Amino acid sequence: MTVTIRPMDAPIGAEVQNVDLAQDLDGESFRTIEAALAEHSVLVFRDQNLTEDQQLRFSRRFGDLEAHVLSQYNHPKHPEILIVSNVKENGEHIGIYDAGRYWHTDLSYMAVPSKGSILYAIEIPHKDGEPLGDTLFASSAAAYDALPDDTKARIDGLSALYSLDHRHKKLVADGDAEAVLSDEAKTKAPECVHHIVQRHPVTGRKILYVNEGQTAGILDMPAEEGQALLKELLSYCSDASRVYRHKWRVGDVVMWDNLPTQHLAIADYELPDRRYLWRTTLRGQPMG
Ligand code: SIN
């Protein structure tokens, strides 16, 4: 069967049909998926059944993988798999329980952010037959396009500060006392600077590269003015008109192009309802 791409009824996203990711993909199927990712930014593969090795093999077709800096949440036998879960064993979180709590692009707080991520759903909470813990994806390429011309001119050449610690301080301020970032993680992920307008290496589209969770402030302007500008830009990034909302099913694999998208996970469930997913994270290229 030939791999088929069916665009979502949404501004971004497509479903990839007729593919079993547990099998080693032939070259043509891989190229179809790679091209669909560049075109649609978010791909959904339904009804998959993967082992760790199969997820890693599929992910490595797209390049090298990252082991997450919050290493306590990495899979004990496969450190390139990040466990995304609210499950606790012996009172300890077995995975990152607050991933996606704010709009973000993965690893924007690193000097070299990730190229993309692949998230495989193994357990999904439900209420009255409906899945909980949806993930929202927004197009930050479309967000850039929607900016007024004078704002585009104003942000051209500007840079911002990105910080994992900023995200964790926000979590603590929002009531999660456990979220204090360890000194080890601060050392592995020191704050970094990126231009706030990026260009996609494949499509050439301009991208509004600021996000709610990890952008601490805009540089080279008074702090108050920078925060006001950041707030204005963030309102474009999360505008509902540019969002695909994924309702998870067990067996879904969702893959996203990290540069032109941002995502947000809705935390509308709690134990004993379990959410458990594996994420692989593709290493990126240095950015402008
Ligand atoms: C993430 O931010 O990578 C995880 C998203 C999710 O838990 O749905």
Average pLDDT over the chain reads 96
Using CA atoms, how far apart are residues 51 and 78, in angstroms rounded to an integer?
A: 11
The ranges assigned to domains in the chain are 4-282
pLDDT tens column, 199-232: 999 999 999 999 999 999 999 999 999 999 999 9
Residues in the ligand 1 pocket, defined by CB under 6 Å: 84, 99-100, 106, 117, 135, 263, 265, 279
Percent of the chain with pLDDT over 70: 100
Q: Residue 186 is encoded by which pair of tokens?
A: 């601060």
Atom of ligand 1 nearest to the CA of 82: 3
Pocket test for ligand 1, best of 69, 73, 84, 137 (most atoms within 8 A of CB): 84
Name the residue at shortest CA distance from atom 2 of ligand 1: 100
pLDDT tens column, 243-275: 999 999 999 999 999 999 999 999 999 999 999
Atom of ligand 1 nearest to the CA of 279: 3
Say which range, 8-22, 74-88, 180-194, has the weakest mean pLDDT: 180-194
- Judged against a pLDDT cut of 90, whether residue 178 lies above it is answered with no
Cβ neighbors of 215 (< 8 A, separation 6 or more) are 108, 160, 161, 162, 166, 196, 230, 234
Fold topology of 4-282: Double-stranded beta-helix (3.60.130)
Residue 246: closest CA among 103, 38, 43: 43
Strand order in the sheet with 135-139: 243-246, 135-139, 261-265
153: CA distance to ligand 1 center in Å?
33
13: CA distance to ligand 1 center in Å?
16
pLDDT tens column, 126-157: 999 999 999 999 999 999 999 999 999 999 99
Using CA atoms, how far apart are residues 66 and 80, in angstroms rounded to an integer?
A: 6
CA gyration radius, the chain: 18
Q: Which H or E element spans position 195?
A: strand 192-195
Neighbours of 94 (CB within 10 A): 17
pLDDT tens column, 101-132: 999 999 999 999 999 999 999 999 999 999 99
Atom of ligand 1 nearest to the CA of 246: 8
Buried b (16+ CB within 10 A) or exposed e, 116-145: bbbbbbbebbeeeeebbbebbbbbbbbbbe
Q: Residue 19 is encoded by which pair of tokens?
A: 């593919």
169: CA distance to ligand 1 center in Å?
19
